[in-house]
Every structure is written in C-alpha cells, then in structure tokens.
Chain A
Amino acid sequence: MTEPEAEIVRFDNVGLRYGTDKEVLTDVSFTLFPGTFYFLTGASGAGKTSLLKLLYLAQRPSRGKISMFGTDAITLPRERLPGFRRRLGVVFQDFRLIPHLSAFDNVALPLRVAGVEEDDLRKPVADMLEWVGLGDRSHARPATLSGGEQQRVAIARAVIGRPDMLVADEPTGNVDPDMAVKLLRLFEALNRLGTTVVVATHDVHLLRKVPDSLIMRLDRGRLSDPTGALRYPPRRAGIPAR
C-alpha cells in the first residue's frame, strides 16, 4: 500500500551482507525527509557506499525494511524500478561515465532515458555543462577529460533531471577546493528547490560548509547519530518532523 510522502526514505533495522560474508551494514535505521541536506560520514570501509547502493536501488538488503517515496522498496516489482530511479540522481564514486558518449551525451542521458525530445534537452544540457565549467568540453569523450572534469560531468548528469533525491558518493574527491565549494553550492541550490541531498564524504571540512545539513555517521556498518539530528530533526516549514 502506498503511504503519503511525509518522509522520503525510511530504513528499519536494515542489514546487508554480500554472499556469506559478515554483514557490512547492521541494524541501520533512519528516516530522510524531503528537502533536507544530509552528510553521510565514516572512515573508509565503514559501509558508506553500501548504504548509498541501497538508497539508489542498486542493491536489495539482506534483512530489514526500506520504504522509499512512501512505497515498500523491497517488494517493489521490477518493472516499477525505472520510475523510481528516474526520481533519483546518483553521483558514483568512480563517476561511471559512458566511455563512447561525449560529455554532452552523458549529461543528456537521463533526459533521453526519460523520453525528452532532442530539441528540448539541448539548451538545459548545454547550460548545465556551462555551469560546471565544461561548456567548451561538451564534445569531449570521458577518456580525454581529467578526473575533476569527469566528476563534474557525473554531477551534471545526476542533477540535470531535477531529481527528488540526489545521492552523491564522494562528489568532491577529485576537484580543487574552489570547484568543491561551487559544487556544494549547486547541491544546496537543488536542495532549496526541494531535492533531498545525501552526500557521502570523509572530508570533515565539507560538513561545515553546509550549516543546515544533518550528519549521519557510519562506523563499521552501524549508524550513529552524532548530532541527534536524525532522532530529533529540526522542524521545517511544510516538512513534518518524525
């Protein structure tokens, strides 16, 4: 049954293991609300990427319950997954750009997948590339772009469709500090437009740059709530608290 979207994501006692190995995520429970900015921190190997995989529906949990956009994401029929995924924007840690496509075509991909007409996507894609400073590199293939440029293309691809939730895995890991701040401002701008943003990072300096953000910390697969904000999220206009 579909529930009202008071919360965008809810994890209840979620566990994840790969094969017969020990759990990489254990008893993870949290709720994400619409229009909120979250940082997911933790040491390398703490389970950040695994948690993000569950968030962007690339993985099903071994146990527990996940609801997304008011719907049980675990029992979600396969044919409904594309519709859910189109509401998400994902910045992968390894960028995962399509090598045979130009920067323009990579950024245009979510719009093409969603069936946007070619005439209607040219300007927004060009504007987005311009905004991330790659207006003059729109025809370049990923192999000819630097790591930072590839990361910016990946971010542009993730946000071009104005997703309901943006999930970014170390999105500023390969860019210089100025570009990192600029990208954070882009995420904040999206967030102000109502997009829930989840940024996984191990860069503690980044956390201070978004004052209204909530912090989730993963430690060896277990989630902690260092600021208490997850348990008692601040009330926002139009956004119900848990």
Chain B
Amino acid sequence: MSAPPALPRAIVARLRTVGAAITGGSETQLVPQTRLSGPMPWVIAIMVLLTAIAAAAGLALGNLASQASADLSGGITVQVVNAAPGARARQANDALAALRESPGVAQVRLVPAAEVDALLEPWLGKRVASANDESVADALPVPALIDVRLAGAADGAAVNRIRARLAKVAPDARVDAQAGWLEPVFAAIGALRWLAAALIALLALTTIAAVLLAARTALDSHRGTIEIVHMLGGTDAQIARVFQRSIAIDAGAGGALGLALAVAVILALARRFDALGSGLAGGAELGWGDWLLLALVPLAGVALATVTARAAVLRALRRML
C-alpha cells in the first residue's frame, strides 16, 4: 500500500490534534475516567435550574418595568374633581381645549364614561341601579379623566407647566404624572431584580463550592495514580486537563437537564401569568434575546465548573513535589 500524499496526511494529523484536544486524547487514560463524584451532574442540574428560573424572573421583571416605563413616561392624568356634573363637564371641556393648544402635548383624550365605568367595575359593579340606568360616572361624583401624552418625559417641570395652564380654565383639575403612581412598583421591581441577581451570584458560589469539594474528593481518591503520573514526568496541566474534561462532561449533562426543567417551569409560570389577564403582568414577557441568554446559563455553568475544577486541581498538585 502506498503512503498517503503529504497534504491529506497533514490534514489527518491536524484533525487528530483537534480531536485529541476535544476528547482529551491519550491523556484520558492517565487517571481513571470516572466522574468527579456521583451526584455532580444532579447538583449542576439543580443549580442551572434555579439559576435559569432566577434569571428568567429578573429578565421578565426588567421587561415589565421597561414596558411600563415606556408606556407611562410621557403620560399625565388630569382629574377634574367637582361634585356638580355640569361644572365638571364644563371644566373638563375647557381643560381639554387648553391642553390641545399647549406646546409639548402630543395627544389628549377625554376618557369616555364607559371606560371610567370599566375602571370602577371591579369595585362598584356594572351599573348603578337607578331609574335612568345611568352610568356609574353619572350617578356618582366620579372625576372626569383626561389622558395626556407629552412629546417628552412627564417630569416635574412639565407637570407644573400643565398645572399652571389649567389653573385658570379648570380650577378643580388635579394633574399627576402617570409614572409617579407606579414609582413604588418600579422600586419594588428594581429590588426584585437585585434579588434575582443576588440569587444567581449565590448559586454560582454554591456551584463553585460543590465543584471544589468534588475535585478535592476525586484528587484524594486518585492521589496514588496522580503521584505515579507525576513521577513518570506528567505535568500538572496534563493531569488538570483530565479532571477538567471529566467535570465538563458532568456539568454539560447536568446543565442540559437543568435547562430543560427550567424551560418547562418558566413556560408553566408564563401560562399562569397570561391567565391573570393583568395589563401589568402582560409586560413580563421573555423575548428571543432573553431565551438566548437563558440558553447560555448551562454553558456558563460548564465554564464555571471547568475553570473551578482546573484551579482546584492545579492548586492541589502544586502541593506535591
């Protein structure tokens, strides 16, 4: 049989090198290819599951806050609070006209009585039982509502400008930035996002601790073999690569399982939140980018576990001569 030509031989040699780098090559035989410890994939699976859920919660809350903030950032609500329906309607119309002529106002809308009824429906029911079958807004001294959209942000100065403009035409008008009402909600969402980030950090630390323990146990159980490999001229890096490969396989399997469980849990939770039909909860959705980030969680877990195992093994090996 003739020798293969030089170029394919070089390619084959290169492929072998790449293959050996991925599989560990002959180094896999240096120390036993048992896993670092039995429960390791399960520990990683639980860590990835919890991390992915915490990350999903953080991302969903972030989306919710962003969407709500975008919806409300230029929003102002004007309430005309007057018990007399006639005066209330007149002031509301005057305020509407004044707002339409105000600079910086992009959109103005008098909230229809039917919409006000719908807002009050959870507390007061559909209709007030009266002879005229009038709406709640007509029967009760409910304020007239004007929804204002500014071209820019509804900051304090803008609100004060609107307030001053309406003072003459609608003295009973109360002007509030919509974002201001939700300020405590945004603060709570921010706190929850920090909590999610803290949970992720804690889970990462727990993963590191678990991997350190497993690596130490594995080193202790293979100490004799490692000493022999050392005596035969094996380098720390060669031995560390074997352990790294082992933990990477464990973490990969555990990470895949953890992510699959996390996706199932997140989808089930999403269905529950959708069923609430709440406008606010509707903003807590995950986009493609968010799902991509979640898919990176097990990869980050594998990387973290591998780097931790390598550091632990190298540190232990440095104590040997």
Which A residues are closer than 8 A to B by beta carbons? 56-60, 78-79, 81-86, 90, 96, 98-101, 105, 109-110, 112-114, 117-118, 157
Contact = CB atoms under 8 A, between A and B. Distances in A.
A81 B224 CA distance: 18
Contact of B26 (A60, A82, A86, A118): A118
A164 to B, nearest CB: 12
Interface stretch (B154-162, B227-235, B267-275): B227-235
B29 A112 contact: yes
B29 A101 contact: yes
A113 B321 contact: no
12 contacts: A78-B318, A82-B230, A85-B230, A85-B231, A86-B232, A98-B228, A110-B233, A113-B229, A113-B232, A113-B233, A114-B233, A117-B16
Chain B, interface SS category: helix
B69 interface: no
B167 interface: no
A56 B228 CA distance: 12
A100 B30 CA distance: 10
Given A112-B30, A113-B229, A113-B234, 9 more contacts: A78-B318, A82-B233, A82-B235, A85-B230, A90-B231, A109-B229, A113-B232, A113-B233, A114-B233
Nearest to B224: A96
A209 B174 CA distance: 114
B125 to A, nearest CB: 78
Given A105-B29, A113-B238, A85 B321 contact: no
A83 B30 contact: no
A157 B233 CA distance: 13
Contacts of B228: 96, 98, 109
B318 A86 contact: no
A133 to B, nearest CB: 23
A110 B232 contact: yes
B94 interface: no
Nearest to A109: B232
B32 A100 contact: yes
B225 interface: yes
A81 B321 CA distance: 8
B27 interface: yes
A147 to B, nearest CB: 18
Interface in B119-163: none
A59 B233 contact: no
B225 A98 contact: yes
Interface of B: 16, 26-27, 29-30, 32, 224-225, 227-235, 238, 318, 321
B30 A113 contact: yes
Q: Give 6 closest A-B pairs by Cβ, nearest first.
A: A86-B233, A85-B233, A112-B26, A82-B233, A100-B32, A113-B234
Contacts of B321: 57-60, 78, 81
Contacts of A56: 231
A83 B233 contact: yes
A96 B321 CA distance: 17
Contacts of B225: 98-100
Contacts of A117: 16
A16 to B, nearest CB: 13
Contacts of A59: 321
Given A112-B27, A118-B26, A58 B32 contact: no
Contacts of B232: 85-86, 90, 109-110, 113, 157
A56 B231 CA distance: 8
A206 to B, nearest CB: 24
Contacts of A96: 224, 227-228, 231
B31 to A, nearest CB: 8
A109 B230 contact: no
A117 B224 CA distance: 25
Nearest to B26: A112
B115 to A, nearest CB: 76
A162 B321 CA distance: 23
B231 A58 contact: yes
A81 B320 CA distance: 11
A137 B229 CA distance: 22
B321 to A, nearest CB: 6
A81 B230 CA distance: 9
Nearest to A106: B228
Contacts of A79: 235
B145 to A, nearest CB: 76
Nearest to A90: B231
Contacts of B16: 117
